[in-house]
Chain A
Amino acid sequence: MLYSTIRFIAKGWVYTHLVAPKLHFTYFGFAWIKPLPEVWMYGVFGLMVLACVGIILGCFYRVATITFFLTFTYTELIDITYYLNHYYFVSLVAFLLIFVPANRAFSVDVRRKPHLQQNEVPAWTIGIFKLQIAIVYFYAGLAKMNSEWLLDAMPLTIWLPAKTSLPVIGFIFKYKITAYLFSWAGMLFDTFIVGFLLWRKTRILAYVAVVVFHTLTALLFQIGVFPLVMSCCVLIFFSAEFHERLIPLGNACLGGHYAPLKSWRKVTTAFLVVFFAFQVLFPWRYLLYKGNLFWTEEGYRFSWRVMLMEKAGTATFFIKDTKTGREGAVPNRQFLNDVQEKQMAMQPDLILQYAHFLKKHYAKKGVTNPEVRAKVQVTLNARPSQLLIDPQVDLGKIQDGWKQKYWILKMKKAQ
């Protein structure tokens, strides 16, 4: 994560993503989270770097984990258009790290206060990470069990042919069968990999599969540091002896045990149960909504639906002065950067947020009680573009919520 944070700063994303935009798309219920002025924003990132170093060295561990969790999650919550499943994963893991004693060996903290040294930890402190990783893979596998992924090999049929220029293996991507192979392999891998990792006999093979899988995805798609993150996290499935062999200085002296205060233990347990129950149940909320999940995206996020569809839209907004009846088009580039525009144009809840922003903006500019309409043409998995939402509805009058969005049009079946 140290690498990732420095990469984010080095690429100038602090400015382009968080400081420069005129508006930010917020998470439902988190609209109160606002970006800080530029200098402070760099301060937050600086703090994040320090916290990373602290965690790696095991130095002021608890303070470092809490700081990292807060700063990282804060920067993620500023703008929903940068939502990535792996950022969500990092936030969750950072949160879990707060509770475990990962600073009790090979750490600066031990050097500072030798009595903290301990070489055994309760099984739960490792178990929770295994469970966390299991949830990620298993739900990602479940999400791939849909007819478009398995029967039409979508969206890989679109994505792979664009990669024929890769050296050595590039040529295989022009064959349609490759897309089918990759689709099925991906689904089976995600669903069963944790099982193979847990079973000692297949563990090494399974880990090789993990590395191969993530290396391939890293080569094929622009997914930043995610493959590296997962490849490393999965190492937790290996035994303690294995890890110590990796460290030449490792000494396997046993002794000492970790005994949290009884009262704390109860609170922690309750907390973790809620934490995981939420993760297990929340992804299923999509069942409560009518319509095609990929089309409406009602209940799509926070569900480990990773690289599941090729979707893109073009959204034109119209502002009408209700007094003069004059209507004009909105130049999106004036308000949004490329990433924001792209993400907004296919996700109904973001379209609504943007509409509300526009209503306020143009009311301030002297348009009387502005009416906001949008013509949004969206293509999903190579289908011809069609209207996503009702172009006649005044979006300014609609409030966001958990209820079914009736203004989303039904997706027409392909001819």
Chain B
Amino acid sequence: MRKYFVIMFFALACGLSACSNNDVAVNDNGFDRGTLLVNVADNLIIPSFQDLKAKVAALETTSNTFIATSDATNLDALQSAWEAAMTSFVKCSPFAFGPADLPLGTFVEVLGTFPISTTKIETNINNTGFNLSASFDRDVRGMMTVEYLIYSLNGDAAVLTNYGTGSDNRKNYLKTVITEIKTNIDNITTAWEGAYRTTFTSNTETSAGSPISLLYNSFVKDYENIKNFKLELPAGLQAGQTSAEPTKVEAYYSGISLTLIKEHFATTEKIWLGTGLNGTDGIGFEEYLNAVEGGAALVTQTKAKVAEINSAIAAIPAGRLSDNIGSTQVSAAHTLMQDNTANFKSSMSSLLGISITFSDNDGD
């Protein structure tokens, strides 16, 4: 009886799959997630953090020079170093997991929060007993605090007046904030260059907490952060807002917001395509999707949308984003990014069978 059952069932199953018009034996599901992980780690993540580490080191050096001699030339050099470091920072932003997940939040949350609180920062500067490492505030530290301390909407002369005699506290604050950034970025880079690379590339599971799931979830969250915090919120496109809030753009004081958005989204695209920091195309989510049922259609759809987003961002008027934040071009780019969210988020995770939550959970 049982034997009969087994035979019947095998016959049925074979018969059925034979008449479905899909290829019977191997469909191309033999995709090796290991190659994706190795490619992204070696050609994108590690070089990006190494670049950031170098840029932050330069930021520290120029900052020390400026603190020693606070003149226009040294301020100029410091500002250039900050712009370079900040541009490198957004290129690492999607990799906010593993060693980049710090005790008080991801490195993006801890070191990249904007807008910062000028009131709190000024209070801290005036408080000689202030200890940054004992503070949990995200809006008094990180890259955007450095920006506030070395730029002014009223020009460089206004910055230099802040660093005259009796400005030791301000100089110390600048130094402490940069040291904190450097320590963390150095640690993250060292971890990636060492043991974490092995951890990341040797596990090809798709469950919650697996490398591919960490990478994917961080990629999606980061993409949504560009949309929500770099465009939607300052543009006043969020529910409950009654007007645009230009001071909420990223990099408000230096005015390089638009450049950062472009570089940031370019990195998003690189992860999806599997392109390295040097521009060489390799194995990424695109190839992975092409290997699974229903993936090819999604690849075509996503590529079209991404191209649209790129031209929409390119169409935003040059100059300070805070001056153009209410423009139709900004809201057009935002709408396109919103449309594309499903491509990156639900459609992609569903086809790839990647767990979407960060923690594991019961299921049925």
Restricting to A169-202, which residues have a CB under 8 Å from any CB of B?
A: 173-177, 180-181, 184-185, 188, 202
Determine if A222 and B26 form an interchain contact, defined as CB atoms under 8 angstroms apart: no
Q: How far is the CA of A19 from the CA of B356 in the complex (A)?
A: 21
Chain B CB within 8 A of A382 CB: yes
Min CB distance B14 to A, Å, is 7
CB-based nearest B residue for A158? B353
Tell me which residues across on chain B come within 8 A of A205, comparing CB atoms.
Answer: 2
- A152-B20, A382-B351 as given contacts; A339 in contact with B361, CB under 8 Å: yes
Q: How big is the B interface, by class?
A: 35 or more
**Is there an interface contact between B350 and A311, defined as CB atoms closer than 8 Å?**
yes
Q: A151-B20, A180-B16, A329-B237 are in contact. Are A307 and B364 (CB under 8 A)?
A: yes
Is A382 in contact with B363, judged by CB distance below 8 angstroms?
Answer: no
Question: Is B294 part of the binding interface, using a Cβ–Cβ cutoff of 8 Å?
Answer: yes
- Report the bound CA distance from A313 to B350 in whole Å: 9
Report whether A175 and B338 are in contact in the complex, using a CB–CB cutoff of 8 Å: no
B280 interfacial by beta-carbon distance below 8 Å: no
On whether the beta carbons of A312 and B349 are closer than 8 Å, the reply is yes
Q: Is residue A384 contacting chain B, with contact meaning CB distance below 8 A?
A: yes
Nearest CB of B to A345, in Å: 7
With contacts A177-B14, A177-B25, A362-B240 known, is A384 near B362, CB below 8 A? no
Within the complex, the shortest CB–CB distance from A160 to chain B, in Å, comes to 8
Across the two chains, which residue of chain B brings its CB closest to A226?
Answer: B364
Q: Contact check, A362 vs B206: say whether CB atoms are below 8 A apart.
A: no
Q: Is there contact, CB below 8 Å, between B205 and A165?
A: yes
B13–A181 touching, CB < 8 Å: yes
CA separation between A158 and B208, bound complex, in Å?
17
Decide: A384 near B298, CB < 8 A? Known: A162-B353, A177-B14, A223-B362. Answer: yes
User: Judging by beta carbons under 8 Å apart, are B350 and A184 in contact?
Assistant: no
CA distance A221 to B2 in the complex (A): 27
Closest A residue to B236 using CB positions = A328
Most buried by B among A226, A317, A342, A358: A342
Asked if B232 is at the interface of the complex by the 8 Å CB criterion, the answer is: yes
Query: Chain A contact residues (Cβ within 8 angstroms of B): what range?
Result: 35 or more
Interface hub of B9, B347, B357 (most chain A Cβ within 10 A): B347
| A116 at interface, CB cutoff 8 A | no
Question: Does B266 have its Cβ within 8 Å of any Cβ on chain A?
Answer: no
Does B363 lie within 8 Å of A221, measured CB to CB? yes
**Which of these, B204, B206, B242, contacts A326 with CB under 8 Å?**
B242
* B interface footprint on A358-393 (CB within 8 Å = 1, 0 otherwise): 100010011100000001011100111100000000
B363 touches A224 (CB 8 A): yes
Contact of B9 among A174, A184, A318, A329 (CB under 8 A): A184
Cα distance A378–B346 when bound, in Å? Answer: 7
B240 and A367 contact, CB distance less than 8 A: yes
> Are A379 and B350 closer than 8 Å at their CB atoms?
yes
Complex contact B351–A317 (CB within 8 A)? no
Whether B238 and A366, one on each chain, are in contact in the complex, defined by CB atoms closer than 8 angstroms, is: no
With A202-B2, A331-B228: A176-B207 Cβ-Cβ less than 8 Å: no
Query: Do B293 and A157 have beta carbons less than 8 Å apart?
Result: yes
**Docked complex Cα distance between A307 and B364 (Å):** 6
Interface residues of A in 186-233 (CB under 8 A from B): 188, 202, 205, 221-226
Query: Complex Cα distance A181/B13, Å?
Result: 6
One of B5, B240, B351 near A158 (C-beta < 8 A):
B351
Task: Give the residues in chain B near A145, CB-CB below 8 Å.
Answer: none
A161 contacts the other chain (CB 8 A): yes
B191 within 8 Å of A (CB atoms): no
Cβ-defined contact, A383 with B239, below 8 A: no
Taking the closest CB of chain B, its distance from the CB of A71, in whole angstroms, is 18
Q: Does A312 lie within 8 Å of B353, measured CB to CB?
A: no
Residues on the A chain within 8 Å of B360, using CB = 222
Name the residue on A nearest B15 (C-beta). A180
Q: Are A185 and B9 in contact (CB under 8 A)?
A: yes
* Across-interface contacts of B350 in A (CB, < 8 A): 158, 310-312, 379, 382
- Are B342 and A177 neighbours in the complex by a CB distance under 8 Å? no
- Which parts of B305-364 form the interface with A (CB within 8 Å)? 338, 341-343, 345-347, 349-364
The 5 closest A-B pairs by CB, nearest first: A162-B353, A224-B362, A382-B294, A319-B239, A314-B342
Q: List 19 A-B contacts (CB under 8 A).
A: A162-B354, A164-B204, A175-B26, A175-B27, A184-B12, A185-B9, A224-B361, A306-B364, A311-B350, A312-B356, A317-B239, A318-B239, A329-B237, A331-B239, A339-B357, A367-B239, A375-B338, A377-B342, A384-B294
Measured CB to CB, the residues of A under 8 A from B are: 11, 13, 16, 82, 84-86, 150-153, 157-159, 161-165, 173-177, 180-181, 184-185, 188, 202, 205, 221-226, 306-307, 310-314, 316-319, 324, 326, 328-331, 333, 338-339, 342, 345-346, 358, 362, 365-367, 375, 377-379, 382-385
